[in-house]
Chains A and B, each alone.
Chain A
Amino acid sequence: MSNMQNEWPLWEVFVRSKAGLDHKHCGSLHAADSAMAVQMARDVYTRRQEGTSIWVVRSEQIVASDPAEKGSLFEPADDKVYRHPTFYELPEELNHM
């Protein structure tokens, strides 16, 4: 569609589906600036009543963990069962722990 040299910057879009819930990442889009990004997010991601609030952030501003470090970052937690509060007796009424 457009020349890669002139590509608009990429934005990550987060949508809150209803009051009280958190904003969830739902995708990304290209836009010239933040105002246009919010408008386009509205048109691309909330046209079927998905949202009540939108956040956008420049993709390049997101700092991500290195996939190559997955082992050292996350695997050590695998055998630490004692970090889960599974050894408590919970009352019946607590359904969502």
Chain B
Amino acid sequence: MDSKLNYVLQLADTCLIHSQRLSEWAGHAPVLEEDLALSNIALDLLGQARALLTHAGQIEGAGRDEDRLAFLREERDYRNIVLVELPNAAASPSDGGGGRDFALTMLRNAAVSIWLELLYERLQASGDAELAGIAAKSLKEVRYHRQHSCDWVVRLGDGTGESQARMQAALGVLWPYFNELFAAGGVDGVGPAWSELEPEWRARWAALMQEATLTPPRDSAMQSRGIDGIHSEHMGHMLGTMQFLQRTYPGGVW
């Protein structure tokens, strides 16, 4: 695959799948106000994914639009990081999933939004004018996502014994998957290698953990490779839900 197309898809698919997971909260958040906040964030990410997928389709030049890329690819063709495809709860109930852990969701949102903020800041200077424009617009959105999720991480981490234990448990589950945030290579004139974000991300994460009185686990050597199309067992189930309508009624529109 063209390296520029690959680079844009890694970001586009990460936004798309992150949005899809977050949308599972609609109607289930602990309070009405938070339900709206989570839906807003999911919609922001979906908007970013749409712009990025449309752009990816143009780079590819094979006539695929955002919908075909979002709904009609095979699992191995998705380039999102594994972190965002993990279920909203570590241990899914026996009803086949759908569990929702608010602590895990907020912690993941914080990790991804800090990372997106750092990445979009750099992509504003991309030699690809379309990508630079999408980055500038998206930056304002992810700054709010970062504020919202980090506030919750601190509230719950530095909260009651119960809330802290839940945050700490969520951190243990997600921690090994953070490595992939820095795994993708850069493309000259398009965007930086993600490894360039790592020092600042780790510094900001450490500060957040300290404020939230959470203890980072020991470094993990695990390296997930969703960015190469190697996904977890959860991805296929999620795509089944996501793609069902387009596969059953090809070309269906609103």
Contact = CB atoms under 8 A, between A and B. Distances in A.
| A is bound by B | yes
Interface of A: 1-2, 8, 29-32, 35-36, 39-40, 43-44, 47
Nearest to A32: B155
A44 B34 CA distance: 9
B151 A43 contact: no
Contact of B36 (A32, A36, A43): A43
Given A43-B40, A47-B40, A35 B33 contact: no
B31 A39 contact: no
Nearest to B155: A32
A60 to B, nearest CB: 18
A2 to B, nearest CB: 7
Nearest to A47: B40
- Of the listed residues B31, B32, B151, B155, the one surrounded by the most CB atoms of chain A closer than 10 A to its CB is B31
Contacts of A43: 33, 36-37, 40
A36 B37 contact: no
Given A39-B37, A47-B40, A1 B32 contact: yes
Contacts of B30: 1-2
18 contacts: A1-B30, A1-B32, A2-B30, A8-B31, A29-B32, A29-B33, A30-B31, A30-B33, A31-B33, A35-B151, A36-B151, A36-B155, A39-B37, A39-B148, A39-B151, A44-B33, A44-B36, A47-B36
A43 B147 CA distance: 13
**Chain A CB within 10 A, most for which of B32, B33, B155:** B33
Contacts, number: 32
Interface residues of B, number: 12
Contacts of A35: 151
Pairs A-B, 6 closest by C-beta atoms: A40-B33, A43-B37, A43-B36, A29-B33, A44-B36, A43-B40
A32 B158 CA distance: 14
Interface in B13-39: 30-34, 36-37
A32 B34 CA distance: 12
A6 to B, nearest CB: 11
Given A36-B151, A39-B37, A40-B33, 15 more contacts: A8-B31, A29-B32, A29-B33, A30-B31, A30-B33, A39-B147, A39-B148, A40-B36, A40-B37, A43-B33, A43-B36, A43-B40, A44-B32, A44-B36, A47-B40
A32 B155 CA distance: 10
Contacts of A44: 32-33, 36
A82 to B, nearest CB: 48
Contacts of A32: 155
A48 B155 CA distance: 28
A40 B36 CA distance: 8
Contacts of A2: 30-31
A29 B33 CA distance: 7
